[in-house]
Structure 1
Amino acid sequence: MITDDKSRWSDLFSGKNSAIAIALSLGVALHAINILVASTILPSVVQDIGGLDLYAWNTTLFVVTSILGSVLSARLLHRNGARGAYLVASLFFILGAMLCALAPSMPVMLVGRTVQGFGGGLIFALSYAMVSLAFEQRLWPRAMALISAMWGIATLVGPAVGGIFAELHIWRWAFGILLPIMVLYAAFTFYILPPGKPQQQGAPLPVLQLLLLAAAVLIVSAGSLAARGWINVGGIALALLLMVWLIRREGHAYARLLPYAALRRGSAMVSLYATLSLLVVGMTSEIFVPYFLQTLHGQSPLISGYIAATMAAGWTLAEVLSSGWRGVGIRRAIVSGPILLLIGLLALAMLMPIPSGGDWQTLASIVAALTLVGFGIGFGWPHLLTRILQVAPQADKGIAGASITTVQLFATAFGAALAGMVTNLAGFTAPGGVAGAASAAYWLFLLFALAPLLAIYTAWCSNEVGHVEQIPDTGARQEQA
């Protein structure tokens, strides 16, 4: 049940909580900065090494491997303890950043983003998984808000790093500068986190579900490259069939991606996961915002990066404002979020496609719309995540923590793939240029507004949250498998 115990921000940074809070939040900040750096410099990368038709794949592959990392995080934490898990995650991240910095072509860049995504997914999921292990339940909303608020810090650093290096035509250093920082972070977490006791016996990996998740995203991404609409529609249909298979498998498997009975009809978690996913899908339209701003509104890489980052800033501000709410305030935050997101995306559909030449009134309106999109996501975000932890069975708290990242990253990857499909069909690459960008911007934001429209219903349903049924005994679960 939802606790009414009051908490303060100072409680999160007192005593033994402070070191853990710093370690978790720093990891997410570095992951978020990397994403914003990459999105800011991608137009410059394409100009230098080509690969415009693979633009969306930078996000898709990054997030697909982040999903794999997020699922493996619980197992890594179980076997190696917090110290060892963070060290392994940091090493993958460093290797991926190095490959990106040295990439001579887009395919090599995609390999680097793939490796980096795996390390980032580990770090991201470990932070959420540690919340229920390291803090009292009354601090969970604050901890969730703190972790997600690191995206706000990233908005100050990521676009600046990416934009400055892009304008200096040395975009490779935007990845290179992350290397010494990640080395220092790995050393810090190795020193500050407990070693833990390695445990060799852990829950088996949900291999089939992982393959189905990855295949669904990659099929939609591959279909997005086709010029014929029927191939795109066929890819989406096949991906949906794979998702149905995954849901059926998840309902009976012993090795699971989600807590027990999470996807069963009538489960409290269905509406929570659905709302979370739809909010994230609506947000993924952001990956094309820097390109639209540079092509349609004449902005530099630095300025376009900062304008795009106002979405994350709005998300962070809304989380900070709502994280301490209780009772009716929580219900209102969860339901009003999708409404704000819907309004913001519809405003972008009207404003972004019209070339402005840098007119400040148009840009100010775009900034307001992007901020509103971020507000829509952030208002109910910490409470959605906290409820997932609260309603999960006690034995599945670890899976529940990792599942937050898994679902979020899957929605991001699926949304990025859909965004690539919509923009390519709308003329992003053919005819391309200003006309193609204008058409792509209009259809992207208009169609993606359907996600928060559906989220209004699922958010309303999520207010009827209760506990899921208890996990049956091990023997029964093995028979189900």
Structure 2
Amino acid sequence: MTDAAAVSTRPEGVLSGRYRLATLGMCALIGIAAFESLAVTTIMPIISRELDGEALYSLSFAAPLASGLVGMVAAGNWADRSGPRVVVIASMLLFAVGLLVVGTAPDMGVLLVGRLVQGVGSGAVIVGLYVMVARLYPPGLHPSIFAGFAAAWVVPGLVGPLVAGVVAETVGWHWVFLGALGLAVPAFFAVLPSLRRVPPPVVAEGGRRVPWSIGRILWSVGAALGVLALNLVSEFPTWLTVVVIVVAVVVLAVALRPLLPPGTLRAAPGLPTLVLLRGLVGAAFLGSEVYIPYMLSAEYDFSASASGVTLTLGALGWAFASWVQGRLGDRVAQRDGIRIGIVLVLLGVVVAALTPLFHLPPAFLIATWAVAGFGMGFMYPRFSVLVLALSTESERGFNSSALTIADSTGSAVALALTGAAFGVLGGASSPLAFVACFVVGTGVAVLALALSGRAVPRGR
């Protein structure tokens, strides 16, 4: 009788009968988005050569990050107002349309349009899924489901870069995106039944729903335009470049203030710095990673599939760290876990800078990028858990949106800096151009480490 009672009162897990379909469906959507992201990083050197788009290389990554800002803000507001169901459905449709446009793009201009549409969808769906987690899962399961999200984001990296490289080298890069679209359809339908079980949003006294925040949505458009302008500075005449940079930075800073928790841009202690820190670590990692396949191709004659090995090992390190973090639970303080992750990312970016500078064997970079991936996987779930823990019910949509906004904005600004440095120093024909890109990532990682003590109180 005692054993039977223990079994009947055992806490449900994320893969128990009640939550299994929701968990698998959401992780599948995250996994497809991850595959597409890693695929783009792997094959973009091929695309830029075929479409004569080397000057727009960084913009092809920054465009979905910029448009994703609009998707995140609109999705956060919409989810607080109406719940995550309609947000997830609408955002997945936009993501699918973007994949279709990119997969059939005849030139770089059309490809960038598709990437913009895709960015709105992917930015919105992440916020929708975060709010879905908050309303469907009990708080005790949040660390496990976010660890699952982190694993789903990186597990495709185990085969994704290799598959994308082989497909691009055989039947053509278009089929990488069209294949991702084909995989997204069943994943989308798998999550629909779980959306019907999500409780409705909390309604304030008087029966009023959370109002539309048109101002915040317009500010997000301004922030997106500022990001795009920064990534286009290389296309302007020299005399106009400084003016564009100053105006874009001012617009971006002003537009971001109402989209983030008060005090984020000045690193106020607690939640504001935590959100800022998410943007910095994402900028250091992604801003460097997108140039690794390009550098291996230009400096070491790696094929697309071979250069994808670095991304695969980085994803493997991320996935393993997510598993470790989930097993450890709270045995490693959140503050310590974040600092460990930053140090490991810093190590990877520094080695990336030294590799083209001294023409080191690429094995050094490949190995240490796996370590950097481990660092990301060890700390990323902690941001989501802490933000939900520090948010009230009515703030979860806004703060989840702010977390992803900081992530995307930080990466997009880093790509603007690396893209400008890359162009000024000679592009793919110059090893110093790649060194400069990784130096930018190093500086951002050092800043993140310096601010980490302000994000999480000591002992937490």
Query: What is the TM-score of this pair, normalised by structure 2?
Result: 0.87
Question: Are residues 411 and 190 of structure 1, via their aligned partners in 2, closer, same or farther at CA, if it must alter by over 3 Å?
Answer: same
**What residue identity is the alignment partner of 1:119?**
G
**Aligned counterpart, 1:62:** 64
The answer to whether the 8 A contact 1:352-1:366 is kept is: no
User: Percent same amino acid among aligned pairs?
Assistant: 26
The answer to whether the 8 A contact 2:348-2:372 is kept is: yes
Select the residue among 23, 26, 31 that pairs with 2:25: 23
**Aligned counterpart, 1:86:** 88
Question: Are residues 233 and 269 of structure 1, via their aligned partners in 2, closer, same or farther at CA, if it must alter by over 3 Å?
Answer: farther
* Residue 455 (str. 1) matches residue 458 (str. 2): no
Alpha-carbon offset, residue 347 of structure 1: 1.2
Taking the TM superposition and a 5 Å limit, the aligned residue runs for 1:57-136 are: 57-78=59-80, 81-136=83-138
**Aligned counterpart, 2:219:** 209
Alpha-carbon offset, residue 466 of structure 1: 11
**Aligned counterpart, 2:254:** 245
Alpha-carbon offset, residue 260 of structure 1: 6.7
Select the residue among 293, 312, 317 that pairs with 1:314: 317
Select the residue among 270, 275, 279 that pairs with 2:281: 279
The answer to whether the 8 A contact 1:27-1:127 is kept is: no
Question: Are residues 266 and 49 of structure 1, via their aligned partners in 2, closer, same or farther at CA, if it must alter by over 3 Å?
Answer: closer
Q: For 1:393 and 1:442, how far apart are their aligned partners in 2?
A: 44
**Aligned counterpart, 2:351:** 347
Query: 2:210 is paired with a residue of what secondary structure?
Result: coil
**What residue identity is the alignment partner of 1:223?**
V
**Aligned counterpart, 2:367:** 368
The answer to whether the 8 A contact 1:27-1:124 is kept is: no
Count of residues in correspondence between the two structures? 441
* Residue 338 (str. 1) matches residue 337 (str. 2): no
**Aligned counterpart, 1:391:** 390
Q: For 2:188 and 2:30, how far apart are their aligned partners in 1?
A: 13
RMSD: 2.8
Deviation by residue 1:355-396 (Cα, 9 ceiling, x = unmatched): 57xxxxx23211122112222323222222211111123321
Q: For 1:182 and 1:352, how far apart are their aligned partners in 2?
A: 38
Alpha-carbon offset, residue 53 of structure 1: 0.6
Q: For 2:197 and 2:139, how far apart are their aligned partners in 1?
A: 23
Task: Give unmatched runs, 5+ long, in structure 2.
Answer: 1-9
Alpha-carbon offset, residue 309 of structure 1: 3.5
* Residue 221 (str. 1) matches residue 231 (str. 2): yes
The answer to whether the 8 A contact 1:225-1:424 is kept is: no
Question: Are residues 298 and 355 of structure 1, via their aligned partners in 2, closer, same or farther at CA, if it must alter by over 3 Å?
Answer: farther
The answer to whether the 8 A contact 2:79-2:397 is kept is: no
Query: 1:464 is paired with a residue of what secondary structure?
Result: coil
Question: Are residues 144 and 265 of structure 1, via their aligned partners in 2, closer, same or farther at CA, if it must alter by over 3 Å?
Answer: same
Alpha-carbon offset, residue 215 of structure 1: 2.6
- Judge which range, 112-121 or 216-225, deviates more: 216-225
Deviation by residue 1:435-463 (Cα, 9 ceiling, x = unmatched): x2x11111111232011111112111223
Q: For 2:247 and 2:322, how far apart are their aligned partners in 1?
A: 36
**What residue identity is the alignment partner of 1:212?**
G
Q: For 1:261 and 1:413, how far apart are their aligned partners in 2?
A: 21
The answer to whether the 8 A contact 2:80-2:397 is kept is: no
* Residue 303 (str. 1) matches residue 306 (str. 2): yes
The answer to whether the 8 A contact 1:311-1:374 is kept is: yes
